[in-house]
Amino acid sequence: MELQLMGPHPFAVDENGAQITRIGTLFPLHGVLFTRAPGVHAWQRSEFVEYLNQGRAGAGLPPLGIEEEIAVSTESADLIFEPDHILIRPDPERMELAFVADEMLQQLVSKRQVRFLSVADDRVHEAIRRRGENWRLSAIPRDPIARRQLILGSKVAISGGRVYFYNRLTGTRWLTCEAFKNLAELDDDSLGRHLAEIADHAARRNRRGRPELAFFASDIHPIEAADFAGLAWTTLAGAELRQRYDDLRRRFTGSVHEGLRQDNVDDRAWCERMLYTLFLDGNEAQSEHLLDGLSPEFFLKVDWLAGGRFAAGEFLLDSIFEEADRNPEDLGLRRLCDPRAKGVIFNFIRDYGDLECINLGTLPESLSLERPQRRGRRGVFLGELRVRNRPEPVKRFIRLQKWSVWEHLDAGKDLLEAIQRSDEYTDYCLDRRLGCHQLGMNLSRRVLIRRLKETYRGKQARYVGHAIRTTYFEREYVPGIATDKLPLERFSRPGYAATFARLLGRAAASGLIVGRQIEDGRTIFDDGDEVVIEGADGLPVEVLVTDHTGAFADYIGSLDRYAGDYARPVNRRDRHLPAPAEFARAYLGAFQQELVRIQGDYRKSRRAFENLFKECTYDPAGSFAYRWECVLRRLDLLDIPALMDTVRRHVHVLTAG
């Protein structure tokens, strides 16, 4: 059915650049998007019923009956208009209605401009997830500037001025203390109409049972709709009107804590309270929470990409890919429809077979602020797969190889050499993993090597347009918490700090031995790759290293120079620990014990260790076999007690005073 627009376009603006309307109601059975009567959705439904009755009268038919009018309202979808997005607020009981509305809206705007609200409701987000469309869930922006703009862009009017902040999730309009105070600047007629509007809508509930209007941050003896009731505000004389308004203004001001009385998006307390009120109230959640068990450090970090779903056993790529193919220069579409993601999706289908849907998101290369990306073209993905007859989704973590064919072509190599160098780097990565495992590092259980095809668009003009292979590594998603992002409240649990200290100390030993560093020489430890796994009792049971990035970067330097780096895990936490000295001793004790164990294992089985990479290329310029030899020699010569004394001298809580 072709969509008919009745009223201004959702993105239409007035002469001042402000959106003409912020809400709309779509009536799928009638093929109508109704954007007139921009105040509240109830008005739009009422006006559309009136429009239908006018048509029926013209055709000599009786007006709609009560049940028919209710049916018209029920079979409608509430919409909220942002400057460049239409947001559908679905009825969790009627998701098929929301999806029909979605299809019809795509006649008017691009699919990427239509998103869904109310995703915290299990019925809503499960329905969207099973369509492979996590990317269409609306969430709060991460950038502070964008957050402030979002708050300011939420100001709406009912029939008067834009004095309310609109909660697009619940439909409630929030009136602030300052906005109410500023009504004093209006003339008597305008003030009376505004007060009548407030009185009327504060007493109303929308079809989701939420108030049409409420009072922001009115926490101390809250002001209520009843305070405005019982008066014909538009008929009051000037003096009486002003007196009653002043009484309400003082009451409203007194009900709000002083720090929240001024509308100030640059004030952190006010901004966070308003964000909560507008975008988290009503059991709303971030779309990143959709991966059940997703660790806190991933919240607000996942950018969901276009995926796909299965219908009658056939996989259907998201239709947004077709739009991206038609608009190859559109950078936004290119990011959303990442061609590498498509290759990952196809590999998932080959590997798992009986899937229902696939959602794929992209992440920053590292969630550590201390590890800026410098060289190589990296990519990190998080996948969620629904496999038939499995109750829980399968979660996979994917990292593109840092130096693959593309990167070597960009470095000036010819295609054959680029392929060879890429394969050599894959072997190097796998050898590093084996070496880490041999030296006691507690790594994620299984890593798979996969390849995808992409079209080269890099620096070498002669190869642009060529199909090349890109290697990536796939592993299970570890449902734990990165050690550097562990909530401080954990340490207040009996036994938690000491257990965690011992596990972290053991992890430190292997990290030190293999010389983990980033390119500028900084040590990598306790900054995002080590993940705490907790048991049913809430205590740590394991620290797992999810990524061995930087292993064997330093293979010839003295380990003493890293003493301060490996004291840092204690120093950064000592102010937050119930018994910091006890934590330090547990950490250092486990650290030393693990170093002794690894050194002893090597000395007992020298040939097994030394022959592990015997068949690999040996080159003092830095081949892995050479690095392995150097690391083993350094381990054999290591004076562990002397090293641990040096680390201990860097631990503040053990040396202070």
Tell me the C-alpha distance between 274 and 48, whole Å.
33
Is 622 buried (19+), middle (13-18) or exposed (0-12) by CB count in 10 A?
Answer: exposed
Q: Which CATH class is domain 481-655?
A: mainly alpha
- Both structure tokens of 262: 């001024």
Give the pLDDT confidence score for residue 256 in this predicted structure. Answer: 94
CB 191 within 8 A of CB 183: yes
Give the pLDDT confidence score for residue 182 in this predicted structure. Answer: 96
Which of 360, 402, 410 lies closest to 378 in space, CA to CA? 402
Tell me the C-alpha distance between 156 and 633, whole Å.
70
With b for 16 or more beta-carbon neighbours within 10 A and e for fewer, the 469-503 pattern comes to: ebbbbbbebbebbbbbbbeeebbebeebbbbbbbb
CB 627 within 8 A of CB 552: yes
Residue with tokens 């019925």: 123
Question: Which residues sit opposite 399 in a β-bridge?
Answer: 380, 473
Is 389 buried (19+), middle (13-18) or exposed (0-12) by CB count in 10 A?
Answer: exposed
pLDDT along the chain (657 residues), means of 10: 94 91 95 89 94 96 95 94 91 93 96 83 84 81 76 88 88 94 95 95 89 94 93 91 96 93 90 82 39 43 84 88 91 88 92 88 61 58 88 89 94 96 96 96 92 94 96 90 88 94 98 91 90 94 93 94 96 93 97 98 96 94 96 97 97 87
Give the pLDDT confidence score for residue 295 in this predicted structure. Answer: 45
CB 213 within 8 A of CB 239: no
